[in-house]
Amino acid sequence: MLRPIWRLRRGMTLGAQGVVVGEDGRVLLVRHSYRPGWFFPGGGVEWGETLEDALARELKEEVGVALTGPAALHGVFSNGSNFPGDHIAVFVIRDWTRRENYRRKGEIAEAEMFAPDGVPSATEQGTRNRLAEIFGKAPVSPRW
C-alpha cells in the first residue's frame, strides 16, 4: 500500500476510534470507500483537539453518532506495524444517539451494527483484537 510522504516524515500520528455499543450489545462498524475491511468509526486528532473532541467530531461526521454520556477510554495502541509512529486511542461508547442510517457518503461505504462475535470476515485484525479485549475474551495488548 502506498503511503503519503507526510506519513513517512511525521514523528507520530494519533487517532481516536469509538466502539459504539448498542443496548443489545451489538457494535457499530464501518467499511470505508478507500480501503478494504471493517473498522470502528473514528479518525485523526487535529491540532488543538483533545482525544475526546476528535472522537466526538469523527463519530458525528462519519456515522451521525452524538455522545450523550462520557466515552470510556479502553486504551492507546501502537499501530506501528501498519503506519510507523501511529497510535490509536480506543473509546467504548454506551451512551449515544444516531441519525438513523446516516453515513458520510464518499468516505463511508457502509455502516452496520454487528454482534461482537459475528463481525464480517473482512473485519480488520486490530478491530477484532479490541472486540475480544472489550468483551472479555482476551487480555489487553499495547499493539494494534
Query: Tell me: the pLDDT tens digits for 95-133?
Result: 999 998 899 999 999 999 999 999 999 999 999 999 999
Rounded to the nearest 10°, the torsion over CA 86, 93, 22, 100 is -80
What fold does the segment set 5-134 form as a domain?
A: Nucleoside Triphosphate Pyrophosphohydrolase (3.90.79)
The one-letter amino acid at 130: R
Residue 81: what pLDDT?
A: 75
Q: In this structure, are strands 38-39 and 27-32 parallel, antiparallel, or unpaired? A: antiparallel
Residue 82 has which C-alpha cell? 501498519
Residue 5: what pLDDT?
A: 55
- Count Cβ atoms within 10 A of the Cβ of residue 129 and give its class: 0-12 exposed, 13-18 middle, 19 or more buried: middle
> Considering the chain, what is the average pLDDT of its residues?
92
Nearest-angstrom CA–CA distance, 78 and 59: 21
Residues of the chain with pLDDT under 50: 7
Residue 7: what pLDDT?
A: 47
